[in-house]
Chain A
Amino acid sequence: MKVAVTGATGYVGREFVSFVNKSLGVELYVLSRSDPRLNGVTWCYYDLDQECPILPSSLDVIVHLASNTKHDELPADIEITAASRLLEEAGKTRARFIFVSSQTASKNAKSSYGKTKWQIEKLVQEYGGISVRPGQVYGGSRRGLYGRIVELVDRLPILPDFGDNVRVQLIHVEELSEILARLLTENFNGKEIFFAADPNWTSFRSYLTGLAETQVKKRRLFVRVPKFILIGAAWIFPNHKSLASLISLFSLPYMHTAASLAAMDITLRNFDTSLQKKSGTDRHLLEEGRILFEYLIGKSFSYFSLRGYVRAIKSLRGTGPLNIPILARAFPSMLGAYESASSFTSSTSNELLWRVAAATQLSESTVAGGEYYFGELGKYPVLRSVSTLFLAGLSEALYRSVGGFIFCLRKLPFSNYCEQRDA
């Protein structure tokens, strides 16, 4: 699958790109002003106020995350023009289009930001694409608005409490990028707008308290600050970014997110515990699933089927991801050697073998699996069959001998053996 991403260097963009790159193995084209220098990613120079770069002709999806952060320098319609250029580009290859909008998007939004987003949503809707309105995004690396808020919490000994009416609907950046990853292939049976956030409000004060406790590990005092003081301050320092962002929180429209989440069977984590929890197990498992599926069937799989693998391992094994050797990570077919090596040990409870067997069943039970096993044999079916059988025999022999080698060297550090990762 080929996916182009704009805004890949932003807070959400970075997270999303590294996630799909690693866990899903999609072919990524990153459209941005500067090269993010990521392995296995193609960079194309892109700026919102300039023409679109030429995109590969077989592009499957465009994810539009870029947004104009140079508010004052550029007129608002730059964004709209940029979006319609991208949509035009998407139309050429009939690519899916996913636009990351904003909670403030509305026809009658107070800010021009919200109005612009709404207008772009309309264009996306006309095209038949999906818009995602994320709530307040938190977690992960300290960048974007989240990074600025953590910084404030770190610096200020006393934090403002604006009362219970200033509140946010949260979503963890990992969850948001997982939702985006799923939308690459899935249609949620909702409308064109996906609302991605906790259905419940979290007061801004609890949000800050949580960040203080988990991120900067400090206790913070709160002082009740009436709203107008902040508004006054923003009026005095019109160019202060954090102030402007803070004020935007005062009038967030409530998003009915439950239906969107239910349509994709998603339960969001709890904010209070999610910042403390070691995240990442799921990603390692997703990556493991991707490698196993690719080994078995040699195709990339949708997030949906890989998620089945993650859920299966979590509910049936109760253990974390395997430590798959770097060689097999880069070349999944090397797993054949490790599988052979494992079968030399007589232990039937070998975890790698169990997981390969499970992956065989799971990868088979997908449309991609069905196509692999039952698709047309092509023009010369007999010849094809004979040669595949011959090659299969050859690869068994090859990887088995490599496996034997690995088995003999298994005590050496570089040939680690797909054991359990340390928790």
Chain B
Amino acid sequence: MHDIVIVGSGPAGVSAAFPLLEGGRDVLMLDGGKTLTVNASSDGYLKARLSDTEQSKWMIGSDFQALRFPDAVSPKLRVPTQSFAFDSFASVNRIESNNVVALGSLATGGLSNSWGCGVAAYSEDALETFPCQRSAMTRSYENVATRVGISGVDLSDDLSEYFGVDDWTSGEIPLDNIHNSILQTYEKRRASVQRLGVKMGVARKAVLSADSLGRKGCNLCGNCLFGCTRQSLYSSVSDVERLKTMPSFRLEPGTLVERIEQMDHGWRLYVLEMDTNDRRIIDCNTLVMAAGTLATTRLVFECLSYEDPVQLLSCPTAAFLLWKPSFLGSPVKEGFGLGQLSFSVQLPKKYTAFGSLFSPVGIPISEFVRQIPLQSKVSARIMKNLLSSTSIGNVFLPGQLSNITVRLGLEHQLIVEGGYSTEAQLMLANARKKLMRAFLKLGVILIPGSFTTGLPGGDIHYAGTIPMKSDPKIGESSEFCEPATTRGLFVVDGASLPYLSEQSHTLTIMANADRVANHIVSQGVDL
């Protein structure tokens, strides 16, 4: 009989593990065990592209990974160095989706192997929806933010309050030329841009600007899309490595939880060993679920025999291309490949849209050719000439604007279906108009026709299926994320968030997991 089992080694799982171990508890962590199979280049991106004769290994993959999924939502799913993070998730966890992107991870470290590293703390208003004490969340934000390492701006900027993480940031990642220039123009024309409801600032991200605890500081090598060989980008894999050095911790990778069952005392897990295909049972007093929203939801609903459809919070998204004519013909340089600048857009009905701008340099040209409805050769030539004068943007809306539901199917699969609400479409259109005008004021053209709405679920931010409530009914969970009618089960991933902000939500998942774990410790061992 184990003391505590945590299912999942992603950001949620590791964030629960630290307080539990520090509180003197024993932790067994299970995960799907997939790990990196192809390494990204350790040279700078441009150098590698100009001289690595074996670049097709990480650009295409020896099994042609990059060619296999022409319709995948994100280049990340095609990149051979990253595909392990998404591999087999839906089939193994019995997730069935209709017209909705439903992804997850069986990797050690989960989706954080390939996430965008954007971080933010929920606003006061957003935290109102949490039935817990605000101060407990603030404490936990600090715990996880300092562990993860966040870079931002040294002095505050127009988004300091909106991000809410500046108390815990250290250092900056230098902006590339084009984004630096956009920011400078913004600072000059701030007033007229803000009149449109648009604010801009440097992106806050879980990226180290200097070496720390075995991870190296970002050297702007530009390989972000393909994976960071320096571990500057936060991934919970580096936390798993730290956890493994603690004596009361054990990781059993490649142990898939197929079913969970509440016993008279504690919990029983029916697991499948990925290596040997053997099935066995693991018993524990306390079960902490952090398998990612979709996997956790299926396991918990199955255990509760809960069959009603429930809303899945998921942020509607769009992407667009910006062009700064004054940069045409400037030299192409590699630089930080994730969010450079971020912006917020005030929308009607008190909604806010959030987005970031990225450099296109570290993204394969074919990713653009795929999107441009011209002859491939022409699109390739155009992009080649525009690389140094363009920027890619994305926009997120709050998660309740999707109309996606999940429900347990007859074969105990989780069915994910739905789409965007009309309101989401209207809000995206509104955001587009405001952004177009705002960017024009900054000397940047939002290329008409490039603004494309993402597929429902394509944000891969999922939450809210077993939401925390102060008075939870069946299918909901308590202030400490215990699903109603269960005892000793804690849902610490996105499933228990009652609200999904348009901002990056993973830091909030982590803080919440930290908070719940501290609660478990304070409860003491229950015999």
Question: Which of A9-17, A91-99, A383-391 lies on the face that meets chain B?
Answer: A383-391
- Out of B52, B53, B376, name the residue touching A360 (CB < 8 Å): B376
Does A357 contact B70, Cβ atoms closer than 8 Å? Answer: yes
Does A308 contact B50, Cβ atoms closer than 8 Å? Answer: no
Min CB–CB distance A351 → chain B (angstroms): 13
- Out of A305, A312, A364, A385, name the residue touching B328 (CB < 8 Å): A385
Q: For B375, give the chain A residue with the smallest CB separation.
A: A336
Does B329 contact A382, Cβ atoms closer than 8 Å? Answer: yes
Does A362 contact B329, Cβ atoms closer than 8 Å? Answer: no
Q: For the complex, what is the distance from the CA of A389 to the CA of B59, rounded to whole Å? A: 27
**A388: B residues at CB distance < 8 A:** 381, 385
Interface residues as binary, B377-402 with A (CB distance below 8 Å gives 1, 0 otherwise):
11011101111000000000000000
With A336-B378, A357-B366, A358-B67 in contact, do A373 and B55 touch (Cβ < 8 Å)? no
Q: Which positions 363-395 of chain A face chain B at CB distance < 8 Å?
A: 364-367, 369-375, 377, 381-386, 388-389, 392-393, 395
Does A305 contact B375, Cβ atoms closer than 8 Å? Answer: no
With A308-B60, A365-B56, A365-B60 in contact, do A360 and B51 touch (Cβ < 8 Å)? no
Q: For the complex, what is the distance from the CA of A170 to the CA of B52, rounded to whole Å? A: 35
Does A381 contact B330, Cβ atoms closer than 8 Å? Answer: yes
- B332 at the A/B interface (Cβ < 8 Å)? yes
With A357-B376, A374-B50 in contact, do A386 and B328 touch (Cβ < 8 Å)? yes
Does B70 contact A354, Cβ atoms closer than 8 Å? Answer: yes
Does A374 contact B364, Cβ atoms closer than 8 Å? Answer: no
Q: For the complex, what is the distance from the CA of A370 to the CA of B365, rounded to whole Å? A: 10
**A297: B residues at CB distance < 8 A:** 380
**A364: B residues at CB distance < 8 A:** 59, 364-366, 380
Does A396 contact B328, Cβ atoms closer than 8 Å? Answer: no
**B66: A residues at CB distance < 8 A:** 361, 365
Does B56 contact A366, Cβ atoms closer than 8 Å? Answer: yes
- B473 at the A/B interface (Cβ < 8 Å)? no
| Residue with the greatest number of chain A CB neighbours at <10 A, chosen from B49, B70, B369 | B49
**A370: B residues at CB distance < 8 A:** 46, 49-51, 55
Does A340 contact B50, Cβ atoms closer than 8 Å? Answer: no
Does B329 contact A396, Cβ atoms closer than 8 Å? Answer: no
Q: For the complex, what is the distance from the CA of A399 to the CA of B366, rounded to whole Å? A: 20
With A336-B377, A396-B375, A396-B378 in contact, do A316 and B64 touch (Cβ < 8 Å)? yes
| Residue with the greatest number of chain A CB neighbours at <10 A, chosen from B328, B386, B387 | B328
Q: For the complex, what is the distance from the CA of A366 to the CA of B51, rounded to whole Å? A: 9
Does A374 contact B46, Cβ atoms closer than 8 Å? Answer: yes
**A377: B residues at CB distance < 8 A:** 329, 331
Min CB–CB distance B72 → chain A (angstroms): 13
Does A367 contact B53, Cβ atoms closer than 8 Å? Answer: yes
With A361-B67, A362-B56, A389-B382 in contact, do A381 and B331 touch (Cβ < 8 Å)? yes
Does A339 contact B375, Cβ atoms closer than 8 Å? Answer: yes
With A357-B376, A364-B365 in contact, do A316 and B60 touch (Cβ < 8 Å)? no
Q: For the complex, what is the distance from the CA of A367 to the CA of B52, rounded to whole Å? A: 7
- B370 at the A/B interface (Cβ < 8 Å)? yes
Q: For B63, give the chain A residue with the smallest CB separation.
A: A315
**A109: B residues at CB distance < 8 A:** none
With A357-B366, A385-B328 in contact, do A395 and B378 touch (Cβ < 8 Å)? yes
Interface residues as binary, B51-85 with A (CB distance below 8 Å gives 1, 0 otherwise):
11101100110011011101000000000000000
Min CB–CB distance B215 → chain A (angstroms): 29
- Out of B56, B375, B381, name the residue touching A308 (CB < 8 Å): B56
Interface residues as binary, B345-376 with A (CB distance below 8 Å gives 1, 0 otherwise):
00000000000000000001110011001111
Q: For the complex, what is the distance from the CA of A361 to the CA of B70, rounded to whole Å? A: 11
With A296-B376, A360-B366 in contact, do A385 and B329 touch (Cβ < 8 Å)? yes
- Out of A333, A343, A356, A365, name the residue touching B59 (CB < 8 Å): A365
Q: Which positions 294-334 of chain B face chain A at CB distance < 8 Å?
A: 328-332
Does A372 contact B49, Cβ atoms closer than 8 Å? Answer: no
Does A333 contact B377, Cβ atoms closer than 8 Å? Answer: yes
Interface residues as binary, A172-183 with B (CB distance below 8 Å gives 1, 0 otherwise):
000000000000
Q: For the complex, what is the distance from the CA of A313 to the CA of B328, rounded to whole Å? A: 37
With A339-B375, A373-B384 in contact, do A361 and B366 touch (Cβ < 8 Å)? yes
Q: Could you name 13 residue pairs across A and B whose Cβ atoms are closer than 8 Å?
A: A296-B380, A336-B378, A340-B375, A364-B365, A364-B366, A366-B56, A367-B50, A367-B51, A370-B49, A370-B55, A373-B384, A384-B329, A395-B375
Contacts A305-B56, A357-B376, A367-B50 known; list 18 others, CB within 8 Å: A296-B380, A339-B376, A339-B377, A357-B370, A358-B67, A360-B365, A362-B56, A364-B59, A365-B56, A365-B59, A370-B49, A370-B55, A372-B384, A375-B50, A382-B329, A384-B329, A385-B385, A389-B386
